[in-house]
Chain A
Amino acid sequence: MALWSKLWQAYRWRLRRRYLLLRALRRRRRLTAVQDRTRAIRKGDILLFASVRNEAQRLPHFLDHYRRLGVDHFLIVDNMSDDGSADLLAVQPDVSLWQTGSSYRLHRFGLDWLTWLMIRHGHDHWCLTVDADELLIYPHHDTRPLSALTGWLDESGQRVFPAMMLELYPKGPVQAQDFTPGSDPLRLLRWFDRGNYTITRQEKTKALWIQGGPRARMFFADRPRLAPTLSKIPLVRWNRRWVYLNSTHAILPSRLNEVYDRAGGEAISGVLLHTKFLPEVVRKAAEEKDRREHFGRPEVFDAYYDSLMGSPDFWTPQSTPLGGWRHLEALGLMSRGGWL
């Protein structure tokens, strides 16, 4: 790109970023605090931000998983759950809970809410932004807490940590599985696709666009462009002037998106284990199809919802069983990037 068009693009991103910040600021009153324990947040704490809706089946294990990794405080927005998620969250000693009845889609899929909370509480903290069906793992997560990772990133002068989504599925039709609500979903979702991901670099945001995996091959083989984006940057040493652009796929300012090595080396990265395909996904797909709260143009995704409602079986003889992070690293899905 020529210098002028680069500068112009940078200016447009700047405007966009400021607009998104302002927008989050103006909409902050749509959040009602249910349980505000943010006074307990100390300097250097690792914070987790999430917006949830009807995730009671996953939340116990979700909280467990992230507590074990060393998240110090959870800041969660509940968007009108009716399955007891809010009650479950409100009684946790390390959770601050807000509620909103506003539209998920019209608030940038919950990002407007989280952006405000991050402006307010996230500045200069390591902030983890995930969905309730995403479990972060990183190199050495079994022996080193998150603070070891963030400390090392700090020393390396790196403020962002990428983790692509790895979609997990059971063997057999998703609805036919036996899942005890609240238990560890990884005991059921044991399989993944190891080598069908495609990557392009998006010149404008400098972010990578990773697609592929089971949903791409099952539901989007006829229109690959629409297949879900799997690249994410969930862990950031946050600055209140920054903003997530769409989900956690990209951040503004755009230089933060260059989390990959472009000269042939391997930078550090983790994986978000995506536990979407629990048996309840079939019922939820029907609900989401009706609510039209997901995706910019929900009507385009009707076929996708229909397939999901048919309780698909993602498993193939080529599927790989989930092992430890070292296995994922050997497969080239994540890397310790020099963090030995």
Chain B
Amino acid sequence: MTVGFIMMCHTALDRAAQVARYWATHGAPVVIHVDARVSAEDFGHLGQSLADLDTVSFCKRFKCDWGTWSLVQAAQTGAEQMLARHPEVGHVFLASGSCLPLRPLQELSDYLAARPTTDFIESVTTAEVGWTVGGIDMERFTLRFPFSWKKQRRLFDSYVDFQRRIGFKRKIPGGIVPHLGSQWWCLSRSTLAAILQDPDRPQHDRYFKRVWIPDESYFQSLSRLYSTNIESRSLTLSKFDYQGKPHIFYDDHLQLLRRSDCFVARKIWPKAEKLYATFLSDRPSESLAEPNPSKIDRLFSKAVERRTRGRPGLYMQSRFPRQDHENGKTSAQYSIFQGFSDLFENFEGWLAKYVGARVHGHLFGPERAAFAGGERMFNGCLTDSALLRDYNPRGFLTNLIWNGRGERQCFMFSPRDTQDINWFTATDPNAQISIISGAWAVPLFHAQMDFAEIRREAARLQQIEIEQLNILRSMYVKARVRIWTMAEFIENPMEPLQTIIDEISPRATRRLTEAPQMIELTGFGQFLQNLKNQGMQPRLMGDFPVAGEAVSQPRRRPYLVK
């Protein structure tokens, strides 16, 4: 017993001839179907090049279009010819002109000889396939499809719609349960003969002629009627990309293909000299190993994922998602601290001690981007120029996070800084935003300025912070936002600080031992009263008594928005 190949060819005929010769000279008969569109000259050329091999024959030619009955017809004709001419054939293998055997033919023959009644055909019920294009699965079998999906998409869609609307349904011939699967199969002689010689075949053919993409369902459904032993997988390694078009293998896939232990792979790039030379050379038959395409599967599904989902937080020349389709606005988590550097001495230094993160100063400060450690330039040649940064603040932030991958980025923020990123950060799930509202007043309190000027500046900063807080209280917020009034915060700073730090580095369950040094606030209540006296209403600090220390207030929990 041996295996016979049906080859469906339409382009790269010289490669097909090469593969056919390999199979034929190693003892497997080959029946070739050549698309009727191939010119007589090319066809004649192919025939001549294989004329010396008497186990290679050509079958009647059909014009083959993607997803049409013609493909099934061609396979049927080829199979009939194979069964009639080659009684020694035990299994029939359907292959294409761009297939390449990866293992010596003897290994395949031995493998099949050990499983004489097994049919290798991927055959899955419509309910279980996840890969159908266009949302049409069961309807492939119950609607009519007179229009081409590739060439007459609009007619195709509207006719499908029309049939759905009027509730049209074709009747499925008795006994047939629709199954789908890869069009590349390897069937045992008995199953194939049963399908082709069934007295009901005219009825089956008539039905499947009008099914959509019958080459993925004709043999897949009918083999269920006759086979005693179906292995629902294809012996042909064939991967599809996100558009449903087959992946192509090139010379650099050599090692990958070799290690897959698959018998046949498609599609091979016709100019892949190395692949053809390697796999069509004479090699001793070595193993009876099962095909193991899992590594290739993983690699290809990763490639599909990369194509459809991309890398979160990456903005580049071929990935520029529109708003809300980012799949990750930024590439990693980061923390924004507002008011902390106003309220505490050297807060950055203190924070850096407790979290394993890069702690920047005011990245969006008016003079320059204050990178950690006073650097003038950050990873990836991101400069500290305020002009360049403000030219595209969002780009600056996403670049910073992307360039700092592998290390959490923290930075200070304040109403004095460029505010353009507020909506972006508020709607970014990667952002952790902690705000002590009103703390911007502390530097003003210590400033040696004309009080009228202080008042004006206070009014401006307060307005900015109010607008920012409005954003952070909107329903669109996706960031982890915590807001305290200044009065709330200074009453008990350790607890909120511990919460924030635990969230940044959850595994380092270190208790804070030392609080950051708070800036002197004696007289701050009077300062706020002075502002009020000048006609400005400080609203964001909470309640500070006019005289003396900030006394204890009724305690409130910091609130966590989402």
Given A148, A194, A340, which contacts B380 in the complex, CB threshold below 8 Å?
A194
List residues of A (110-143) whose CB comes within 8 Å of B's CBs.
140, 143
B395 at interface by CB-CB < 8 Å: yes
A332 and B318 form a contact (CB under 8 A)? no
Residues of B within 8 A of A216 (CB): 388
Residues of A within 8 A of B306 (CB): 265-266, 335-338
Residues of A within 8 A of B245 (CB): 155-156
List residues of B (126-165) whose CB comes within 8 Å of A's CBs.
none
Report the bound CA distance from A194 to B378 in whole Å: 11
Given known A-B contacts A265-B319, A266-B319, A195 and B379 have beta carbons under 8 A apart: yes
0/1 per residue, B395-417, Cβ < 8 Å to A?
A: 11001001100000000000000
| Chief secondary structure at chain A's binding surface | loop
B325 and A318 form a contact (CB under 8 A)? no
List residues of A (264-285) whose CB comes within 8 Å of B's CBs.
264-269
Interface window among A44-52, A73-81, A221-229? A221-229
A92 at interface by CB-CB < 8 Å: no
Given A144, A194, A221, A269, which contacts B318 in the complex, CB threshold below 8 Å?
A269
The winner among B308, B379, B383 for most chain A CB atoms within 10 A is B383
Interface window among A82-90, A235-243, A254-262? A254-262
B399 and A148 form a contact (CB under 8 A)? no
- The minimal Cβ–Cβ distance linking B305 to chain A, given in whole angstroms, is 9
When C-beta atoms are compared, the residue in chain B nearest to A264 turns out to be B327
B315 and A199 form a contact (CB under 8 A)? yes
A340 and B391 form a contact (CB under 8 A)? no
When C-beta atoms are compared, the residue in chain B nearest to A152 turns out to be B248
A200 at interface by CB-CB < 8 Å: yes
B380 and A196 form a contact (CB under 8 A)? yes
Residues of A within 8 A of B318 (CB): 162, 259-261, 266-269, 334-335, 337
| Chief secondary structure at chain B's binding surface | mixed
Report the bound CA distance from A320 to B271 in whole Å: 35
Report the bound CA distance from A177 to B378 in whole Å: 26
Report the bound CA distance from A201 to B380 in whole Å: 22
List residues of B (183-216) whose CB comes within 8 Å of A's CBs.
none
Interface window among B280-288, B296-304, B489-497? B296-304
Report the bound CA distance from A223 to B242 in whole Å: 42
A231 and B317 form a contact (CB under 8 A)? yes
A266 and B381 form a contact (CB under 8 A)? no
Given known A-B contacts A164-B317, A224-B387, A340-B247, A261 and B310 have beta carbons under 8 A apart: yes
List residues of B (226-274) whose CB comes within 8 Å of A's CBs.
241-243, 245, 247-248, 250-252, 269, 271
A245 at interface by CB-CB < 8 Å: no
A197 at interface by CB-CB < 8 Å: yes
A318 and B380 form a contact (CB under 8 A)? yes
When C-beta atoms are compared, the residue in chain B nearest to A216 turns out to be B388
A265 and B320 form a contact (CB under 8 A)? no
Residues of B within 8 A of A259 (CB): 317-318
When C-beta atoms are compared, the residue in chain B nearest to A340 turns out to be B303
Report the bound CA distance from A261 to B387 in whole Å: 29
Residues of B within 8 A of A183 (CB): none
A151 and B314 form a contact (CB under 8 A)? no
A316 at interface by CB-CB < 8 Å: yes
Given known A-B contacts A194-B381, A261-B310, A267-B318, A224 and B388 have beta carbons under 8 A apart: yes
A214 at interface by CB-CB < 8 Å: yes
Report the bound CA distance from A196 to B403 in whole Å: 9
Residues of B within 8 A of A194 (CB): 380-381, 403
Given A144, A263, A318, which contacts B381 in the complex, CB threshold below 8 Å?
A318
- The minimal Cβ–Cβ distance linking A174 to chain B, given in whole angstroms, is 17
- The minimal Cβ–Cβ distance linking A259 to chain B, given in whole angstroms, is 6
A260 and B391 form a contact (CB under 8 A)? no
- The minimal Cβ–Cβ distance linking A319 to chain B, given in whole angstroms, is 6
B322 at interface by CB-CB < 8 Å: yes
- The minimal Cβ–Cβ distance linking B150 to chain A, given in whole angstroms, is 11
The winner among B317, B382, B402 for most chain A CB atoms within 10 A is B317
Report the bound CA distance from A336 to B307 in whole Å: 8
A140 and B252 form a contact (CB under 8 A)? yes
What 8 new A-B contacts, CB under 8 Å, besides A217-B383, A221-B387? Answer: A143-B251, A151-B248, A194-B403, A196-B382, A264-B308, A265-B242, A266-B310, A316-B381
What are 17 sample pairs from A and B whose C-beta atoms fall under 8 A apart? A140-B252, A143-B251, A144-B251, A163-B317, A164-B316, A164-B317, A193-B380, A194-B380, A195-B382, A197-B395, A198-B399, A210-B317, A222-B387, A260-B318, A266-B306, A336-B303, A337-B306
